[in-house]
Amino acid sequence: MRTIVLGTDGSPGAHAAVEWVVRNAGLLGAEVAVVHSIDTALTMPPPTVPVAPFVLDDSVRTAVREQLHDWCAPLRDAGLVVHEELFEGSPVEAITRVARERGADLIVVGRRGHGGFAELVLGSVAHTLSHRADVAVVIVPAGRPA
């Protein structure tokens, strides 16, 4: 069976990517590994800011796992075989790791569309994947028909 790795974060771009996979995974005869990664580097304050650090405890992980399960509902409703994967750290590393481990044929992600300075500072998972992935990457823009 073919495998699609779908990176999601609940954004409008990720929702468009889910819709793309719903429409195309069955045609490709593919199962779907859905990956979400909590990027702890983005949740931590700069070292000069005196605040308590963000802690990923079991209650946070459980809440995020439930959210991931909700994001996958359209895939399950379409009758697709879905595997949900939750990681902590870089989303790019998580997605490429799952793609490699599962022998994926395709990676699908949404484009958040920060653009400009925000993208320069935050980086772009879709952009980085397009350069690092060992398989084809489909980047679905937010707000466009899947």
Structural domain boundaries of the chain? 1-94
Q: Are strands 106-111 and 30-38 parallel, antiparallel or unpaired?
A: unpaired
CA 103 from chain center: how many Å?
17
Is residue 98 within 8 A of residue 134, CB to CB? The reply is no
Rounded average pLDDT over 123-145: 86
Tokens of 6: 């779908």
Q: Which residue has the higher pLDDT, 124 or 83?
A: 83
pLDDT of residue 85: 95
Identify the CA nearest to 31 among candidates 104, 110, 138: 104
Q: Please give the CATH superfamily to which domain 1-94 belongs.
A: HUPs (3.40.50.620)
How far apart CA 36 and CA 48 sit, in angstroms, is 29
Rounded average pLDDT over 45-73: 76
**pTM, rounded to two decimals:** 0.83
Amino acid sitting at position 94: A
Is residue 81 within 8 A of residue 32, CB to CB? The reply is yes
Tokens of 43: 């949740």
Q: pLDDT, tens digit, for every residue of 68-117? A: 999 999 999 999 999 999 999 899 999 999 999 999 999 999 987 555 54
Q: Is the pLDDT of residue 42 over 90?
A: no
pLDDT of residue 118: 44
